[in-house]
Amino acid sequence: MMESLSGLCSAIVRCRECDLHFSRKKAVCGTGPKDASMMIVGEAPGSAEDEAGIPFVGRSGKLLNEVLASLKVSRSEIYITNSVRCRPKVGQAPKINEVRTCSRYLKEEISIVSPRLVVPMGNSALFALGFVLDKKFEKISEVAGKLMDCGMFFVFPQFHPAAILRNPKRREYFVENFQKAVWLLRDIQSMPRLEIARKYRALSI
Ligand code: SF4
């Protein structure tokens, strides 16, 4: 296990554990404070992220920033990462074996940051978290907006911003879910775990 995020990032930029290293320009490490209470997990770097080496700087990131700002949440308070750290070929989602291989880094990030709330956005993020926790999650369309208590932290799945850009009708629901995540985070910091679970009807996983 790595002990620091910088050490982890050094390992990620050198990583060639799956075929995605062939299609990357820059591997993209997670960003955010080491003691962040909330961790957001996306899918994979797109072209803007691949160029910059920073997660969520393209169109999806712009939407994410807008929504967080509208809820008076600074992105700098959140740890933001991805299911895979290297860009898949254009138009392709990461394959399940690539998500599985790369989930070792998510496991290390969770261990270092120790978030209270993890928000996996989209199916790849749910798969990655499933590998970390050795659980099988339902599809995002089944579990978006449902709180789950996994013992170490709460999990609150959300649609990926790219899905909202493709289907803007879901934008209101996307914003509502982030509003709920912000309330949840506030309550998680001040209420006993069981009360949170009851208040938000958390499912045990
Ligand atoms: S996607 Fe992850 S596992 Fe694959 S090469 Fe990149 S850092 Fe390594």
Write the CATH number for 56: 3.40.470.10
- Ligand 1 binding pocket mutation candidate from 86, 92, 106 (most atoms within 8 A of CB): 86
Number of domains composing the chain:
1
For the chain, how many residues are written? 205
44 in Cβ contact with 124 (< 8 Å)? yes
**Which residues, including other chains, have CB under 8 Å from residue 91's CB and lie 6 or more apart?**
none
**Does residue 186 carry a pLDDT above 80?**
yes
Specify the pTM.
Answer: 0.96
- Test site for ligand 1: of 9, 12, 17, most ligand atoms within 8 A of the Cβ: 17
| Residue 117 burial class via C-beta count within 10 angstroms: exposed 0-12, middle 13-18, buried 19 and up | buried
User: Is the Cβ atom of 102 under 6 angstroms away from ligand 1?
Assistant: yes
> Average per-residue pLDDT in the chain?
95
pLDDT at residue 190 is higher than 80: yes
Q: Which stretch of DSSP H or E encloses residue 170?
A: none
What pLDDT, on the 0 to 100 scale, is given for residue 204?
82
Atom of ligand 1 nearest to the CA of 21: 5
pLDDT band with cut points at 50, 70 and 90 for residue 91: confident
Matching residue, tokens 């490490």: 29
State yes or no: pLDDT of 168 exceeds 90: yes
Domain with 101, as residue range(s), is 5-204
